[in-house]
Amino acid sequence: MSTAGNRVAVHQIGTVNYYFKLQVRIINRRFSAFGISPLPGYLLVGFAWAMGSIYLFQQTQYAPIIYAFLALGVISRSSEHQRNEFLAGCFPAVQYRLIRLLENGILALPFAGFLAYQGYWLWSAGLIAIAELFALIRFPSSPTYVLPTPFQRYPFEFIVGFRSTYLAYFLVGLLTYQAIRVGNFNLGIFAQVLTFLLGMTYYFRPEPPYFVWIFAANPRQFLWRKVGTAVYCASWFSLPVGFILGIAFPENIAILGVAQLVGYLLLLTIIFAKYAAFPAEINLPQAFLLGLGLWFPPVLLVIIPYFYRQALQRLQTLLT
């Protein structure tokens, strides 16, 4: 290779390296905004991911399917049309492709590595291949088609969230079907709870203060209106799953009822936690309490009033 060619290659690698350093800096700042130093943050996220992965593979034989869906959901975020149009406009074609291949490879690697560790080599290789294929495809935007939802009158968390995660609801349906087919009630409960966990993810990002200020309500009315909307929207998916499982497993109807109730309590918790931190994002102590509530639901009876009082105080200046 000529000297000029070497300089071009070094420049391209340097630009790609700078891009990833910038991404690390952005993540570090998010950890700092979350109230935790970057290094403990990376360790905490890694530990939570490892424990969650181990738990999933211990609980169901369909873990590889669920795990692959989760991995593709994470990877698909990097393939969004607007984001890729922006990157393509910032970098020459060669650098853009290299960035996309490395991005998707980095995102897929932990999932593929764990699948290989569990002995699912074919799933691991397939996940890597699909991730790299996504990097080579420029997905077109579809401005003329808006995915319909049953939530048009109830903006906005479930409308936006559902359109971003609608494929996950196919996974819920698949898990429900498999639970009934093989007689695995625990798998069915997981599908029912998953509908609530998806709903909870829609409340992590705060909206601009203006979208709170325009409500003609006091803080208490605002919060309970939000709760009512969340319960209604979540019921569209959780109740059919619970109903079908109740028919298939009539001896476990009481357990299904408890799971439904816990799901509603989790929605209350995330809503109150969101506005307890508003207009900032949920911080580390609040996330810890949320995790504690997921792990041991009875403690929600203490966590919910705590977040509720904080949320009322936070909203006082906007809604009075």
User: What's the pLDDT tens digit per position in 208-221?
Assistant: 776 777 766 788 88
Tokens read off for 306: 């705590």
Task: Output the CA angle 207-71-110, nearest 5 degrees.
Answer: 110
Distances (CA, A) of 250 to 134, 155, 179: 43, 35, 14
- Structure confidence at residue 293 as a pLDDT band (50, 70, 90): confident
pLDDT at 146 over 80: no
Of residues 191, 185, 195, the one with CA closest to residue 248: 185
Burial code (b: 16+ CB inside 10 Å, e: under 16) for 287-311 equals bebbeebbeebeebeebbeebbebb
R_g (Cα) of the chain, nearest Å: 22
User: Tokens 């009934």 — which residue?
Assistant: 180
- Structure confidence at residue 14 as a pLDDT band (50, 70, 90): low
Q: What is the mean pLDDT of residues 123-147?
A: 73
pLDDT at 16 over 70: yes
Of residues 130, 98, 96, the one with CA closest to residue 111: 130
Q: Which amino acid is at 125?
A: A
Write down the pLDDT at residue 320: 66
Write down the pLDDT at residue 88: 78
Q: Around 109, how many Cα atoms within 13 Å sit in the side-chain half-sphere?
A: 8
Write down the pLDDT at residue 3: 56
Give tens-digit pLDDT for 148-166. 666 666 667 777 777 777 7
Q: Transcribe 141-206 into DSSP letters.
A: P-TT-----TTTTS-SHHHHHHHHHHHHHHHHHHHHHHHHHHT-HHHHHHHHHHHHHHHHHTTSSP
Q: Which amino acid is at 250?
A: P
